[in-house]
Amino acid sequence: MSAGPYSETADMPPVAGMTDAEAAPRTEQDASGNAAPVNAAMLEPRIIEALSTVYDPEIPVNIYELGLIYDVDIHPNGDLDIRMTLTSPACPVAGTLPLEVESKAGEVEGVGNVTVELVWDPPWTPDRMTEAAKLELGFM
C-alpha cells in the first residue's frame, strides 16, 4: 500500500469522532473462532492511509484531506461504519466514490465488513479541508 501524501501515518489528523475509548484495544473472532486482539488505535492510521488514496477525479486532493470523511467507527469485531459526504449533491462521482471508499477501507488488514453512509448534513464546506488541501487548492 502506498503511503499517499504523508511520509508517516502519524502526520495524519485523527478521524473525527474517534474517542480514546474507541481507540482502546478490542477483540474480534479470528478465522478459527478464537478471540484475536483488534487495536483501533493501530488500525485507524492504516484506514486513514487507505482513504487518502481515494480522489475525486475533478480535484487534485484526496478525499480525506478534503474533509469528505466525517466519521469512521471501528467496531469490536473490526467492522467499519464510515460516514462521508461529497462536495455537492450533484457530484458526478456520487455513485462510485462511496464504493471506492468501501473497497479501499476493506483492503486494510484487520478490517471486516465496511458500510459507507453518504450524508449531506452537515453540508461540506471548504472549512473542512486540511491546511495542506487549502494550500493545494489556493484557499490560502
| CATH, residue 62 | 3.30.300.130
pLDDT in tens, 106-132: 999 999 999 999 999 999 999 999 999
CA distance 126 to 50: 22
pLDDT of residue 41: 87
CA dihedral 3, 138, 135, 73 (to 10 degrees): -60
Domain that holds residue 84: 9-136
- Could you write out the DSSP letters of every residue in 3-62? -TT-SSGGGSPPPTT--HHHHSEEEEE-TTS-EEEEEHHHHHHHHHHHHTT-B-TTSSSB
pLDDT in tens, 10-46: 444 455 444 444 444 344 455 566 546 578 889 999 9
Residue 120 falls within a domain, yes or no?
Answer: yes
Predicted TM-score (pTM) of the model is 0.73
Residue 26 falls within a domain, yes or no?
Answer: yes
Q: CB burial class (10 A; 0-12, 13-18, 19+) of residue 112?
A: middle
- Number of folded domains that form the chain: 1
Distance of CA 57 to the CA centre of its chain: 17
Residue 3 falls within a domain, yes or no?
Answer: no
Residue 38 falls within a domain, yes or no?
Answer: yes
The residue written with cell numbers 476493506 in the block is 106
- Cβ(106)–Cβ(50) below 8 Å: no
Residue 2 falls within a domain, yes or no?
Answer: no
CA distance 114 to 118: 13
